[in-house]
Amino acid sequence: MGLVLLELLLRASQGWYFEAIDLYQVDEILGIAMRPSISQSIGIGDMRFSVSHNSSGLRGAEVREDDPELRIFLIGDSYVYGIGTDNDGTISYQLENMMKQTGIDAEVLNLGCGGYSTVQAYYMLQKYKHLNPDVVLYLFCDNDPIDNIKFLTGVNKRRSPKTYRSWWRIALRRHSMVWNVIQHKRFFFDRGGVKNIQDATPGNFMADSTIALRPELIDLTATYVDSISSLADSLQAQFFIGFVNVTFGDSSFMDFGPICKVYNKLFVDKGYQTIKPPNSLLVYRNDLSKLLGNVPYLGHYNHIYYSCFADEITSVLLRKYKFSNN
C-alpha cells in the first residue's frame, strides 16, 4: 500500500503521465539491441518525445530497397540514437535532409543504441555491413572507453531474454515511477543538465578522466576503432570520427572536451578523419537550457543541439564527397 501511495504522489507531483524508456531487447552478441517495429511516447507530464523503429530495429524509416547515391551509417550510443527528441530531430534524420537539400540522394541509417561502447559500435557495423555503406561515422562519447571494459567483462550484461521481457518487468520498467527511482537512483523532478557541453567546473564531465585515460583503456578503444576502420575499408566506405563532448574554447570556436581532446589527437595521429565540434553551438553559450531534450531528466538534447552536429557533418561530407567525385 505504501508503494502505491508513493507512486500516486510522484505522479501527482509531475502531471500524472509517465512512460519510461522500453526500447531494448537482449542480443546474444551486442548485449542489448533496439526492438524492431515499435513506437513509443516517452516522457513525464507534458514533457515527451516519440520514437519509432523500423523492421530492422533501427530508429527511423525502413531501409530503402533501391541503392541511394550515398548511404551513410551513424554508429554510437544514445546521442547517435537521439534520446530527447522525436525521430525528425535526430542527427541522422536532419543529416539526411541536409544532404538532400544539396542535391545528393542520401540515406542516413541510425545505428545508435543507448549505452553502446566502441566495441558494440563495431559489432553493429558487422551486423549491418550487408547494406554496403559509402560512409561510416562513429560518434565517440567520453564514457566509451569505460563502457568498452564494462561490456567485455560482462558488467553490463542483461538478464536472459525471457526474464528481461517478462510482462511484469515490462510493466514496472515502463510505467512505474517508483520502480525507476529505485533502479536508476534518479528523481524525476531533476531537470537534468547539459553535461556534454563542458566547462571548467570539476565534475561537469560524463566520464572520469583518471579512468578513461588509463593506457589500457586507450589501447583497447584504439584497437576497436582500428577494427571499425578496417571493416569500413573492406566495404570501400570512408570512415570518420566525431565527438559528442565539447567545450567552449573562447568566443570564436568550440573545442573538444578534455577526454575527447586526448582521443582526437590519438585518432588524428593514426591518420583518421575527425570532425571538429560545431561552432554553431556558440550562440547558446549563455543559455544552454535551449538545448535540453524534451524530457530534461534524461539528460540528453533536443533537435537544436542535434542539428548543430548534423550541419557540421554535412559540411565535412560535402567537401569530401564532391572532392572524391571530381
State the average pLDDT over residues 203-214.
Answer: 71
Among 77, 86, 90, which residue's Cα sits nearest to residue 39?
86
- CA of 12: how far to CAs of 172, 182, 259, in Å? 18, 18, 41
The answer to whether residue 166 is domain-embedded is: no
Q: What are phi and psi of 45, to 5 degrees?
A: 60, -130
The answer to whether residue 6 is domain-embedded is: no
The answer to whether residue 117 is domain-embedded is: yes
Indicate the DSSP class of residue 120.
H
Q: What pLDDT does residue 204 have?
A: 41
7 pLDDT band, cuts 50/70/90, is confident
Tens of pLDDT, residue by residue over 154-206, are: 876 666 777 888 989 999 889 898 888 887 666 555 555 555 555 433 334 45
- Residue 294 is part of a domain; what is its CATH number? 3.40.50.1110
Among 246, 226, 225, which residue's Cα sits nearest to residue 142?
246
The answer to whether residue 198 is domain-embedded is: yes
Pairs from 163-166 (Cβ < 8 Å, separation ≥ 24): 164/24, 164/25, 164/26, 165/25, 165/26
The answer to whether residue 4 is domain-embedded is: no
The answer to whether residue 123 is domain-embedded is: yes
Range in 41-50, 219-228, 232-241 with the lowest mean pLDDT: 41-50
The answer to whether residue 16 is domain-embedded is: no
Q: Domain limits at 130?
A: 65-160+188-324
* Residue written as grid cell 526492438: 35
242, pLDDT greater than 90: yes
Supply the DSSP string of 227-248, one letter for each residue: HHHHHHHHTT-EEEEEES-EEE
Average pLDDT, the chain: 89
Sequence-ordered alpha helix ranges (H) in the chain: 2-14, 78-81, 91-101, 118-128, 144-153, 161-164, 167-175, 177-184, 209-212, 215-234, 258-269, 303-324
The answer to whether residue 299 is domain-embedded is: yes
Tens of pLDDT, residue by residue over 16-38, are: 889 999 999 999 999 999 999 99
Q: Count structural domains, the chain.
A: 1
At 2, the amino acid letter reads G
Tens of pLDDT, residue by residue over 247-305, are: 987 778 899 999 999 999 999 999 999 999 999 999 998 888 899 899 887 888 999 99
142, pLDDT greater than 60: yes
Q: Would you call 263 helix, strand, or coil by DSSP?
A: helix
